[in-house]
Structure 1
Amino acid sequence: MAEYKIRNYRRSDYDSVRQLFASGMNEYVPSVCVHVLKQPWVIFVMVCLFLSLMVSSKSLILPLLAVTLLLAVGRQVLGYCWYMYIDHCLKEDLRDIQKTYMESKGSSFWVVEADESIIGTVAVKPSDEKHDELVLKRMSVRKDYRGLGIAKALSREVIGFARANGYKSVILNTLMVQYEAKKMYESVGFKKYFEYMMPTVYGRLVNFTISKYRYDTLHVT
């Protein structure tokens, strides 16, 4: 098992943290594409396009090329949209990590260090909805260090922080493609209590759902 340590964020970690977050989020692009392709209306459009071109051209080459081109364009569009989401996060709370998390009451940011590199992160901040609720954010572990229990260790760090600071619960959001993350959180003790569709045209179009999880800090494991 790799030797690692969890410590508080330092200003010198800035570039490594942002790069780790961006690379981790980029891994979801293929899953997002598959999710969109599974939507009934997308399948319907693809089938109709294929059949109409095949009937009109009386050949398989044109419809195959058209569908292939459409898939390639769709992949680029989805990739761009996902890139814009990542860029938004980098310009939001991750623009000034020190100020957002380390200098704000009830907030904190931890990194995982191994082999002289930053290989994991997690952050917390007070909920905007309830004063006794803490929000877990920016959980990320580098791909080649996953499966070692690091994410669980970070989750326990957050839970310990919440208990020490008098918070009754820890909440978090997961996207519909974060299957491994959901399993990990559930194994730690988080329970899904709400699920909703992203309230945008794009969200409704591709059935982009967000699941909310909660951990009761009074729960003894």
Structure 2
Amino acid sequence: MADYSIRLYRDSDYTAVRDLFAEGTIEHTRVAFKHAFTLRRVWIFLGVVFLLPLLLVESIAFSIGSLALALVGLWLGTRDLYASYVRHALSDDMLDIKKYYLQRDGHCFWVAESDGVVVGMVAAVPSSYPGGERHTELKRMSVARSHRGKGIAKALCRTLIDFSRERGCQAVVLETTLGHQAAHNLYKRMGFRWQHSTFLNHPLAKAVDFKFFFYKFDIPTRRQ
């Protein structure tokens, strides 16, 4: 028997939900940072940062220091890709969760609770993408590290799919980033299909190949 339950969001969940969302998003900085080092342009940039001071001032210490500063800057810039996303969400739909998600048609917000603690969350909104008039968008999916691997994300996803089916929707769509590797695997196992990718609107996004990946799940009709 599962040691968690899924229910609608309550105002008393506010702080826990905001913290879970922020922490669960920012933690993917490491994956995005590692991905940057698979890019040739990043290696070229770091090579120039190291060699230019060496040629100009002939100081290996200065070159190493310049390289260290570049790496720190790359880490902070990559982290800000996620941090800016979090800041936007917390000042937009996550500012008043009850008003935004529970008092509007076609919207909803669920949490997973274990031993009285919120350990997971997911939200539903009508899709704003072209051609998605009868689609639901999955948003704000997050599960606490301590409770991953227990099927919570899958259960939250199923809850949203059932909600969408009951509303007569034809599909569920979502977007996720490269850093959410476990999420990619989950969505694919559940039948979501990749549609396309797009860059985040951030000055560093294209340089480090930071993309949003769009997935779609076609809701099967139930036999009568």
Distance (whole Å) between structure 2 residues aligned to residue 49 and residue 96 of structure 1: 45
Distance (whole Å) between structure 1 residues aligned to residue 219 and residue 92 of structure 2: 28
Structure 1 unmatched runs, 5+: none
Cα RMSD for the two superposed structures: 2.0
Corresponding residue number in structure 2 for 1:113? 113
Partner SS state of residue 133, structure 2: coil
Q: CA deviation at 1:199?
A: 5.1
Distance (whole Å) between structure 2 residues aligned to residue 206 and residue 69 of structure 1: 17
| Distance of aligned partners of 1:63 and 1:202 in 2 relative to their CA distance in 1, 3 Å threshold | closer
Query: Contact between 1:2 and 1:114, CA under 8 Å: does it hold in 2?
Result: no
| Distance of aligned partners of 1:203 and 1:88 in 2 relative to their CA distance in 1, 3 Å threshold | same
- Within the candidate set 144, 164, 182, 2:146 is matched to 144
Corresponding residue number in structure 2 for 1:53? 53
Query: Contact between 1:134 and 1:170, CA under 8 Å: does it hold in 2?
Result: yes
In structure 2, what residue type is equivalent to 1:117? V
Partner SS state of residue 202, structure 1: coil
Q: CA deviation at 1:65?
A: 2.1
Query: Contact between 1:101 and 1:108, CA under 8 Å: does it hold in 2?
Result: yes
Q: CA deviation at 1:84?
A: 2.5
Corresponding residue number in structure 2 for 1:217? 219
Distance (whole Å) between structure 1 residues aligned to residue 39 and residue 192 of structure 2: 29
Distance (whole Å) between structure 1 residues aligned to residue 76 and residue 169 of structure 2: 42
Corresponding residue number in structure 1 for 2:156? 154
For residues 124-164 of structure 1, give each alpha carbon's deviation from its aligned partner in whole angstroms, at most 9, with x where no partner exists. 01112422110000100001110111101111111111111
Distance (whole Å) between structure 2 residues aligned to residue 94 and residue 200 of structure 1: 21
- Within the candidate set 158, 163, 174, 1:172 is matched to 174
Identity %: 33
1:184-195 equivalence runs, <5 A: 184-195=186-197
| Distance of aligned partners of 1:80 and 1:176 in 2 relative to their CA distance in 1, 3 Å threshold | closer
Distance (whole Å) between structure 2 residues aligned to residue 128 and residue 210 of structure 1: 16
Please, which moves more after superposition, 61-70 or 186-195? 61-70
Q: CA deviation at 1:81?
A: 4.3
Corresponding residue number in structure 1 for 2:85? 85
Distance (whole Å) between structure 1 residues aligned to residue 151 and residue 22 of structure 2: 21
For residues 79-132 of structure 1, give each alpha carbon's deviation from its aligned partner in whole angstroms, at most 9, with x where no partner exists. 344322211111111011111111111111000000210000001011124221
Query: Contact between 2:81 and 2:202, CA under 8 Å: does it hold in 1?
Result: no
Partner SS state of residue 104, structure 2: coil
Q: CA deviation at 1:181?
A: 0.5
Q: CA deviation at 1:190?
A: 0.8
Q: CA deviation at 1:201?
A: 4.4
Distance (whole Å) between structure 2 residues aligned to residue 168 and residue 219 of structure 1: 8
| Distance of aligned partners of 1:113 and 1:182 in 2 relative to their CA distance in 1, 3 Å threshold | same
Query: Contact between 2:54 and 2:63, CA under 8 Å: does it hold in 1?
Result: yes
Runs of 4+ with >6 A deviation = none
Structure 2 unmatched runs, 5+: none
Q: CA deviation at 1:202?
A: 3.3
Q: Please state if 1:17 is matched with 2:11.
A: no
Please, which moves more after superposition, 24-33 or 133-142? 24-33
For residues 42-99 of structure 1, give each alpha carbon's deviation from its aligned partner in whole angstroms, at most 9, with x where no partner exists. 2102112222333445553332222112212332333344322211111111011111
Distance (whole Å) between structure 1 residues aligned to residue 196 and residue 146 of structure 2: 32
For these two proteins, the number of residue pairs brought into alignment is 220
| Distance of aligned partners of 1:20 and 1:10 in 2 relative to their CA distance in 1, 3 Å threshold | same
